[in-house]
Structures are given as C-alpha cells and as structure tokens.
Amino acid sequence: MAERAHPRITGVHALSALGRGADALLAGVLAGAPAFTPVRRFDTTSRRVTVAATLPEVGNLADELTDAVDRACRAAGLDRTHRAGAALFLATHGGPHSLPGPAGDPTRPAGGTDAPPEVPALAGHLARRCGLGGRTRTYTTACVSASTAVADAATLIGRGDLDRVVVAAGYLVEPDQYALFDAGRALAADGAVRPFSAGRRGLLLGDAVVAVVLESGRAAAARGAPALATVAGWGRAGDAYHPCQPHPEGRGLARAVEAALRRAGLPAAAVGYVNANATGTPYSDASEAAALGRVFGAAAGRIPVSSTKSVHGHALEASGLLELVVTVLALGHGKLPINAGWLGPDGTCPLDVITDAPRPTPTPHALTLNAAFGGANTALLVSAP
C-alpha cells in the first residue's frame, strides 16, 4: 500500500473530566481513577442515577470545540496557510444544546449575539472561527459518529482527494440525553463502570471535546511535521440485529476489525492492544468479547484489553475520537491504560483485561473499537511512528 494511503496524526487536543489537554488525559487513564462525581450541571433529584464524569469549569460547546480545533492545529504546527486548505469533519449531537440558552448552562452558547446555528451548520461556523477553508462535514450517527468521521477522512486522504482533515467531536453531559439513558435503565446504579467484569451494571456518561489533525504522508513531510501515529487501517460494518443490541456473536464488530486489518496489511497477531468499546453493560460487553474471539481465536485471551470508558465515561458521539487519542497517546508513551471498576472475571468475557496497573506496549499496533445503536460498528487500527 502506498505511503500516501496511511494518514498521519500530527496534532491532538482533548478535554474530558480528567482535565484539559493530552497530558491530563494520558495521566488519568494510566492512573485508572474513575472521574465520576455527582452531577452539578443540572438537576438530577428525580433521576435514578445522579453521577457522571464532568469537568467542573467548561464553556459552551461551540466555544470548547473552537478551542479544541485551534489547539490541535497549533499542536500540529499548522500556520494560516496550512489551515486554509484543511477540511473539518465534525461529530456531535444535534438538538437544543446547540441553541442559545440561559446563563449558567455550559452546554449552550451564552448570549445571543454570536450563537452558532444548529448542527450541521455548526461545522461551517467552527471552520470560519478556526481559519479552516476546506470542505466541512457533520456526523450525527450516535456513538460511531467520530470514528466514522476518522474513517472517512482516512479514506479521502488515502485516495488523494484531500491532504489534511481536522476531525473534531464534542459532547458535554446535558439533561436530555442523561434523562433518556436514565429512564432506559442503561446507567449504572452503583455509580461505577465495570467493563467485562462480573457484576457490571451499565454505563455512565462523560464529557469529551476532542480534535485531531490527520494529514497525508506527503503533506506532513513537506512541512517537516512529525507524526504521533499512523492510521494504518479502518473498517465499518453493520449487523442490523436489533435496534439497541449488537449481535450476540459480535458479527458486525468482527467484520469491522477484519476490514481494518486487511486495509492495514497486518496479520491479527500484530495487534498488541485493544481499546474496547465496552460500556459496562452485560449484553454488549459479552458481544464484543465474542467478536474478538471470532477474529483472534484462542489468541483473544492473550491480547491486552481495556475500556477507558471506565475512567472518563461514555461521551456518545465524541467517544470514538477521545478513545482514538487515548490509544495514540498510550502507544507513544509505551504504557497501556487500566480497565477500572473490575470486580472479577466473567465467563462471557474470556479476555486479558488490564486491571491492576498499566502494562508496557507489546507491539506498535493497536485497535480502538466503537459500536452504536442500530448495529453500527467501527474499528480503527493505529500504529506508533
């Protein structure tokens, strides 16, 4: 596969309940201390569950996205000329949090004078604010929004249609989605996310505002930009098994992983870490474990696996990008993140889960997986430079 076909990641920025910036994110996931605290952003007194992973001091979503894009571009060393030709692919949730709202609501733009329009026009608004002059796209495909945006960016860069794409994603925990997940009894009543563990009881939501700069090898080399990682492969597949549940044998996710491996030109044995989608729900975690078994066979029980949602929470549309950044940072640092909340092994998830302390990276290649309602599945395979 030609060098051009493997996009480079040259800049990242992330906000989560673990703090602002890549250093805070990496330190948090390696420490493995969950960031779930009582929600203060809105009233949860009528809710079954009252905790989430939120950052106390945040601006409105549009401003935080603008800041993330700008910081990622600066981290990549993009000047005004480089930005002018860059596309922006934005993954976020549409709805009332994009509109002007009352003072004190951090998910809504304050005042009415500079309020951005609704999604999808928000992407154009952000591009103008950040000096990005290329095409824009928006993704609102639930929990695979950001990973789908990365796969599309990688495809377009790989075939030479684009040289540079900024992928951004944002979700700040807000009352509407929180109420839906709580009413559906998807949130963990014990206040902990326990992926792949016995006694797991559900997911918890978390903040994430993230931006990543992807460039062709030629474009990065032309300006002497070092790569943090290479997006070596990507895959997408649907199983359409159930509106809310994945196929119990993990068929869709397995096909996505197999496609990522084929595109990367790597054997399954090359993968040294899986940052799993695992949300801490009984059914979907078991399905994901089955998917890994379908792809890796007996070796699935020997590949280090963790789900960092156990620390930073589930950021819905932004999850795929936050977890991609976690994976890139972990490979660069040479240590693999902890799967928090572990109570003990579950027979439906026969995996090598990282539970006690970060481990050294055994290979330079890692997978980060995401899945969404409706049977959508994505796999991104990244390689250390």
Q: How many whole angstroms separate alpha carbon 51 and alpha carbon 206?
A: 10
Q: How many whole angstroms separate alpha carbon 74 and alpha carbon 57?
A: 23
Let me know: does 239 contact 251? Beta carbons within 8 Å: yes
Closest CA to 215 of 138, 293, 160, 139: 160
Higher pLDDT, 123 or 102: 123
Name residue 352's amino acid. D
Q: How far is CA 73 from CA 70, 187, 215, 244, 384, in A?
A: 5, 35, 11, 36, 20
Q: How many whole angstroms separate alpha carbon 152 and alpha carbon 94?
A: 20
pLDDT in tens, 16-48: 999 999 999 999 999 999 999 999 999 999 999
Q: How far is CA 364 from CA 71, 210, 272, 336, 360, in A?
A: 26, 23, 7, 11, 11
Let me know: does 55 contact 103? Beta carbons within 8 Å: no
Q: Which two tokens stand for residue 257?
A: 């992983």
Across residues 262-286, what is the average pLDDT?
A: 97
pLDDT in tens, 56-99: 999 999 999 999 999 999 999 999 999 999 999 999 986 544 43
Could you tell me the pLDDT band of residue 120, with boundaries at 50, 70 and 90?
A: low
Let me know: does 208 contact 315? Beta carbons within 8 Å: yes
Name residue 161's amino acid. D
Strand 304-306 with 271-275, pairing = parallel
pLDDT in tens, 325-382: 999 999 999 999 999 999 999 999 999 999 999 999 999 999 999 999 888 999 999 9
- H helix intervals, the chain: 22-31, 61-76, 80-84, 121-130, 145-158, 175-183, 217-222, 251-264, 282-296, 309-312, 319-333
Tell me what percent of the residues of the chain surpass a pLDDT of 90. Answer: 87
Higher pLDDT, 239 or 118: 239
pLDDT in tens, 181-237: 999 999 999 999 999 999 999 999 999 999 999 999 999 999 999 999 999 999 999
Give the CB-side neighbour count of residue 149, counting CA atoms within 13 A: 35
Q: How many residues does the chain have?
A: 385
Contacts of 211 (CB under 8 A, 6+ apart): 11, 12, 13, 14, 65, 68, 69, 71, 72, 73, 166, 167, 168, 169, 321
For the chain, counts of helices (H) and of strands (E): 11, 16
Q: How many whole angstroms separate alpha carbon 108 and alpha carbon 61?
A: 6
**325: how many CB neighbours lie within 10 A of its CB?**
27
Could you tell me the pLDDT band of residue 290, with boundaries at 50, 70 and 90?
A: very high
110: pLDDT strictly greater than 80: no
CA 84 to chain centre: 26
pLDDT in tens, 55-66: 999 999 999 999
The whole-number pLDDT of residue 374 equals: 85
Q: How many whole angstroms separate alpha carbon 297 and alpha carbon 293?
A: 5
Q: How many whole angstroms separate alpha carbon 249 and alpha carbon 246?
A: 8
Residues paired with 368 in a beta bridge: 275, 380
Q: How many whole angstroms separate alpha carbon 62 and alpha carbon 113?
A: 13
Q: How many whole angstroms separate alpha carbon 306 and alpha carbon 323?
A: 11
Across residues 233-244, what is the average pLDDT?
A: 89
Say whether the peptide bond before residue 120 is cis (omega within 30 degrees of 0).
yes
- In the 8-state DSSP scheme, what is residue 316? G
